[in-house]
Amino acid sequence: MTTSTDVFNGKVLIVDDQSANVQLLVQMLRGAGYAFVTSTTNSADVCSLHLKNRYDLILLDLQMPRMDGFQVMEGLKEIETDGYLPVLVITAQPSHKLRALRAGAKDFISKPFDLAEVLIRVYNMIEVRMLHLETKRLYDQVVAAQRKSELLLLNVLPQSIAERLKGRADVTEDGFTEVIADSFAEVTVLFADVVEFTNFSEGVSVEVLLGVLNDIFSRFDKIADARGLEKIKTIGDSYMVAAGLPIPVADHAVRAAHMALDMIAAMNSFNEQSPHKLNVRIGIDTGAAVGGVVGKHKFLYDLWGDVVNTASRMESHGVPGRIQVTEATRNRLGKPFVLEKRGAIDIKGKGEMHTWFLNSVSA
């Protein structure tokens, strides 16, 4: 809230080509308690002085040689970043008052001066200026907070889902009244798991454990962004992403395959740079799924369907350092991918399945 102290600490510039008028106004304002009062008799200096000092009020005589007050106001408009022109014009011509207000001045005082009127108008003008600046600060804070909230939301949800949630009208204290759910005819899901991470975690501090996991998953996050996959979630040392949602794409299996190969390379790079040598096991499947946001609080975009379970089984029944894919995914990967038939294996909850190892991309 603006106080009298704020007003009297406002910076004032007096512009008049008559030295007697300048001296009178300076003495009057300083005598009234204004701490920062400066002056100039050269109207051409006003814009440069304002750029340097950012005055809260400029008392501007309209009739001056070389550059009149109207020209000064045009120059001030070009340098005022917030669009507010803190000008109180001084004029002896009644016809100039309306023109000055149209030019952007906020008020006027007449010559010869009525000292009581001058003090009241100066106080009111600076108070309005302070309120304007305070309102702008609050607005900027709200905008910054909103931007931060949007960034946090985008770090939790896919952009298209976040936009849909922001546009929902059915928001209550208990959350949303309806779920967001979309069916996808075909997506590709990838699960990765850091091998023997439980044993590794027993021999290091919590700080080291979290640092290692954050390093590895941050590398995976960059790959997901680069390859166009949607990170779904992490569960302990498991990492889940999907291609082909929430915006469907035709090359979802290809994107997932490239990401898997990049993840193997990222783990090799990690091992070269870290004293801790770890490995990753990856599984991939392709099929129909439902993606959406459920629940009332702490929203999470999740994925459901047999494809999720099968991709998880491909990972858990896989081989450290290798990428195991189902026949459904293999059928959507042609050249240049190099795949190796693993054969039929018994998958918990699925029975016998024919699977393949994704080895590389041929030159």
Locate the domains of the chain by residue range.
4-139, 172-361
What is the predicted pLDDT for the residue at 146?
Answer: 74
Q: How many angstroms separate the CA atoms of 189 and 171, rounded?
A: 31
pLDDT at 174: 59
Write phi, then psi, for 202 (nearest 5 degrees). Answer: -75, -15
Tell me which residue has tokens 């082909």.
244
- Catalytic, 348? Answer yes
DSSP of 188-210: EEEEEEETTHHHHHTTS-HHHHH
Asked if pLDDT for residue 154 goes beyond 90, the answer is no
Give residue 169's pLDDT.
53
- Report residue 348 CA to chain centroid gap: 44
Asked if residues 333 and 339 have their Cβ atoms less than 8 Å apart, the reply is yes
pLDDT digits (tens, 9 = 90+) for 3-16: 888 889 999 999 99
- How far is the C-alpha of 32 from the C-alpha of 202, rounded, in Å? 74
Scanning the chain, the segments in alpha helix (DSSP H) are 4-8, 19-32, 46-53, 69-79, 94-103, 115-156, 159-166, 197-201, 206-227, 252-273, 306-316, 327-330
Q: Which of 129, 313, 330, 332 is catalytic?
A: 313
- The tens digit of pLDDT for each residue in 230-276 reads 998 888 889 999 999 988 999 999 999 999 999 999 999 999 998 88
For residue 172, what pLDDT band results from cuts at 50, 70 and 90? low
Residue 309 reports pLDDT greater than 60: yes
β-sheet bridge partners, residue 111: none
- pLDDT tens per residue across span 69-113: 889 989 998 888 777 888 998 888 877 888 888 888 888 888 888
Identify any residues that bridge with 287 across adjacent strands, giving them in sequence order: 187
User: What is the share, in percent, of the chain residues with pLDDT greater than 90?
Assistant: 49
Whether 4-139 and 172-361 share one fold: the answer is: no
> How far out from the chain centre does Cα 333 lie?
37
- 313 as an active site residue: the answer is yes
Superfamily for 172-361? Nucleotide cyclase, GGDEF domain (3.30.70.1230)
Q: What is the CATH number of domain 4-139?
A: 3.40.50.2300
Q: What is the mean pLDDT of residues 28-36?
A: 92
Q: Is the pLDDT of residue 171 over 60?
A: no
* CB neighbourhood size of 28 (10 A): 17
Q: What is the per-residue pLDDT across 277-288, written as a single tens digit (0 to 9) for each?
A: 899 999 999 999
Q: Is the pLDDT of residue 335 over 70?
A: yes
Tell me: the pLDDT tens digits for 190-225? 999 999 888 888 888 889 889 999 999 999 999 999
The C-alpha atoms of residue 176 and residue 183 are separated, in whole angstroms, by 20
Question: Cβ distance 241 to 248 under 8 Å?
Answer: no
Q: Which pLDDT score is estimated for 15?
A: 93
Mean pLDDT over each residue of the chain, to the nearest integer: 87
Core vs surface per residue 200-237: b (16+ CB within 10 A) or e: bbeeeeeeebeebbeebbebbeebbeebbbbbbeeeeb
In this prediction the pTM is: 0.62
C-alpha distances in angstroms, 121 versus 126, 250, 263, 304?
9, 69, 69, 68
